């Protein structure tokens, strides 16, 4: 009887414990006059600032193929921060927040969006004073994904690199994408595709490129590495025991338990060994998405969540100055290259580039790349016989005055000779503006000021709050690319004197209609 009572009591307290662990803290933040909100998910940039009614978004379940930050910022100088994930929605202008960790509150930092970001940054994700490798900001990147997809091989890689130079594009960072390695968890090249990988890397270096390789946190099942790592207890386990098998876009794999510091040190050493053997400069850290983590897991760190898993994988990149990430949890202000998630080959995707880059900057990701010129989703490039050349050129122009620009589909293959030359021209413009962009990166590393800035951030309460098709590059340049078909667009100039790319001067505030032939990217330098 006594034993039964003890069992019942244990069960009762267990239920109470579960109930307590699932307690939700709800917060209603009443809107101030004219107040609008940004935050949460980089990939929701096109919805920001959010309207009066926005559906529920949950940071524990979603990342929309991109970075997530537990931060909300308001145009009225308020912010919300939590070290833990939360959910949010808007109803009739009210910001509704739910957390299972703590009661959230809006903090007052001033009266502007800039006030909110800089205060939140200084307190919760201060800049480190360091930036990723400087080459990222001054020279283009070239990624082999769209040209080779899963057929990464030495011959075609060297041909791509040679064509970069032959067609008048500046050398920069060269990224070899997925399926170069024997299998996941192994860091040697496929010998049948790469007869001399060290010689390949050396030659790319002689040509003027830095070399990066795609990696992910996955380990192919039934491989020697799988068996070794499982025996060491380095692989993530399901609740109740047994190695977790994760379904991701390339099939089923085990994954490192990134919450175990010993595992991360092991992996770091493996990557260092690879660098010493092949001369690789750095890595593109893919995967680590919480949306692929659909099971219940027994992490090494008992307090960890799937968000922690994503954070620790991304943080590994801090040991490799040549890095690139697509998915992160927090880590704002860190010297990490954060790119947008794979964009489609479409005009709609081109329109998303500016608002998504703006949201990245506002969430603390200053060193950013707007995915691949023309799109990073490969399916259309497999089937299309004729490409929309205007779309590719305009996408290139959006990239040109961003912190970074990345080619993947080869302009010289799919464009006319004239239009490929236009892309080369704007790659050289990025190079010419490199010193200024790099100065902004260093400034961001000290102040938390984004490189790409929302018009509302730079010119608060002056009617720019919903502007999504132009941006400020630092405080000196207003950039207004074409993001839809056509050869004219409207540009909204703030107060001051502005000189455009053709040398013509305008006095703001005013709206102007600009002629934009295919070879032109309108941008305006602030004179005073």
Angstrom distance (rounded) from CA 416 to CA 316: 41
Residue 90: band (very low, low, confident or very high) from pLDDT cuts 50, 70, 90: very high
pLDDT tens figures, 421-477? 999 999 999 999 999 999 999 999 999 999 999 999 999 999 999 999 999 999 999
Residue 28 forms beta bridges with which residues?
A: 96
pLDDT average, residue stretch 76-98: 98
| Of the candidate ranges 237-241, 325-329, 390-394, the one whose mean pLDDT is the lowest | 237-241
pLDDT average, residue stretch 405-410: 98
Angstrom distance (rounded) from CA 293 to CA 124: 26
Share of the chain above pLDDT 90, in %: 93
- Check pLDDT > 90 for residue 8: no
pLDDT at 14: 43
Residue 213, judged by CB atoms within 10 A of its CB (0-12, 13-18, 19+), counts as buried
Encode burial over 436-461: b for 16+ CB neighbours within 10 A, e otherwise: bbbebbebbbeebbbbbbbbbbbbbe
Nearest to 375 by CA among 404, 341, 402, 400: 341
- Check pLDDT > 80 for residue 13: no
pLDDT at 22: 64
pLDDT tens figures, 225-276? 999 999 999 999 999 889 999 999 999 999 999 999 999 999 999 999 999 9
Nearest to 426 by CA among 408, 439, 409, 407: 407
- Check pLDDT > 90 for residue 192: yes
pLDDT tens figures, 110-125? 999 999 999 999 999 9
**How many other CB atoms sit within 10 Å of the CB of residue 26?**
10
- Check pLDDT > 80 for residue 12: no
**How many other CB atoms sit within 10 Å of the CB of residue 401?**
21
Residue 370: band (very low, low, confident or very high) from pLDDT cuts 50, 70, 90: very high
- Check pLDDT > 90 for residue 77: yes
DSSP 138-170: HS-EEE-HHHHTT---HHHHHHHHHHHHHTTPP
Place of tokens 């704002």: 332
Angstrom distance (rounded) from CA 253 to CA 356: 31
pLDDT at 216: 98
Q: In what order do the strands lie in the sheet with 505-515?
A: 452-453, 471-473, 477-479, 523-526, 488-500, 505-515
Share of the chain above pLDDT 70, in %: 96
Angstrom distance (rounded) from CA 78 to CA 483: 31
pLDDT tens figures, 286-315? 999 999 999 999 999 999 999 999 999 999
Q: Which domains does the chain have, with CATH numbers?
A: 24-124 (2.60.40.1760), 449-526 (2.60.40.1180)
Place of tokens 């940054």: 121
Nearest to 520 by CA among 413, 387, 405, 393: 393
CA atoms in the 13 A half-sphere facing the CB of 112: 14
- Check pLDDT > 50 for residue 7: no
Residues 6+ apart with CB under 8 A from 341: 43, 64, 65, 66, 326, 327, 371, 376
Place of tokens 């053997």: 277
Helical ranges in 141-260 per DSSP H: 145-148, 154-166, 197-207, 224-232
């Amino acid at each position: 009887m006594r034993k039964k009572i003890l069992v019942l009591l244990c069960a009762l307290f267990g239920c109470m414990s579960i109930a307590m662990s699932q307690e939700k803290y709800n917060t209603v933040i009443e809107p101030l006059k004219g107040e609008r909100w940004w935050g949460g998910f980089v990939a929701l940039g096109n919805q920001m600032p959010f309207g009066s009614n926005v559906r529920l978004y949950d940071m524990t379940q979603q990342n929309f193929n991109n970075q997530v930050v537990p931060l909300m910022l308001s145009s009225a100088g308020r912010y919300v921060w939590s070290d833990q994930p939360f959910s949010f929605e808007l109803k009739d202008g009210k910001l509704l927040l739910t957390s299972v960790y703590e009661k959230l509150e809006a903090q007052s930092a001033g009266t502007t969006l800039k006030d909110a970001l800089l205060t939140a940054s200084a307190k919760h994700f201060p800049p480190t004073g360091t930036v990723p490798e400087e080459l990222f900001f001054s020279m283009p990147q070239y990624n082999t994904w769209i040209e080779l997809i899963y057929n990464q091989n030495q011959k075609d890689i060297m041909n791509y690199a040679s064509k970069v130079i032959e067609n008048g594009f500046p050398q920069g960072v060269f990224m070899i994408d997925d399926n170069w390695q024997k299998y996941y968890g192994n860091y040697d090249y496929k010998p049948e595709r790469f007869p001399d990988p060290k010689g390949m890397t050396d030659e790319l270096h002689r040509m003027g490129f830095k070399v990066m390789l795609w990696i992910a946190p996955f380990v192919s099942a039934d491989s020697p590495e799988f068996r070794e790592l499982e025996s060491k207890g380095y692989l993530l386990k399901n609740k109740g025991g047994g190695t977790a098998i994760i379904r991701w876009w390339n099939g089923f794999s085990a994954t490192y338990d990134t919450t175990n510091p010993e595992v991360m040190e092991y992996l770091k050493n493996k990557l260092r060994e690879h660098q010493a053997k092949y001369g690789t400069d750095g890595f593109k850290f893919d995967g680590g998405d919480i949306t692929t983590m659909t099971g219940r897991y027994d992490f090494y760190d008992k307090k960890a969540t799937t968000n922690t898993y994503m954070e620790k994988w991304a943080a590994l990149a801090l040991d490799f100055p040549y890095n690139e990430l697509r998915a992160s949890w927090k880590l704002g202000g860190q010297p990490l290259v954060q790119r947008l998630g794979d964009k489609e080959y479409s005009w709609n995707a081109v329109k998303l580039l500016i608002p998504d880059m703006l949201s990245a900057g506002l969430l603390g990701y200053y060193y950013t790349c707007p995915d691949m010129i023309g799109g990073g989703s490969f399916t259309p490039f497999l089937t299309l016989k004729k490409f929309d050349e205007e779309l590719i050129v305009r996408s290139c122009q959006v990239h040109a005055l961003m912190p970074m620009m990345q080619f993947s589909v080869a302009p010289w293959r799919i464009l006319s000779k004239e239009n490929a030359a236009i892309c080369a021209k704007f790659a050289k413009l990025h190079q010419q503006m490199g010193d200024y962009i790099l100065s902004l990166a260093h400034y961001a590393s000290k102040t938390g000021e984004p490189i790409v800035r929302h018009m509302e951030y730079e010119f608060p309460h002056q009617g720019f709050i919903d502007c999504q098709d132009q941006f400020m590059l630092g405080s000196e340049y207003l950039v207004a690319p074409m993001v839809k078909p056509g050869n004219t667009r409207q540009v909204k100039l703030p107060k001051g004197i502005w000189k455009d790319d053709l040398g013509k001067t305008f006095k703001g505030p005013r709206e102007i209609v600009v002629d934009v032939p295919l070879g032109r990217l309108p941008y305006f330098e602030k004179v005073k």
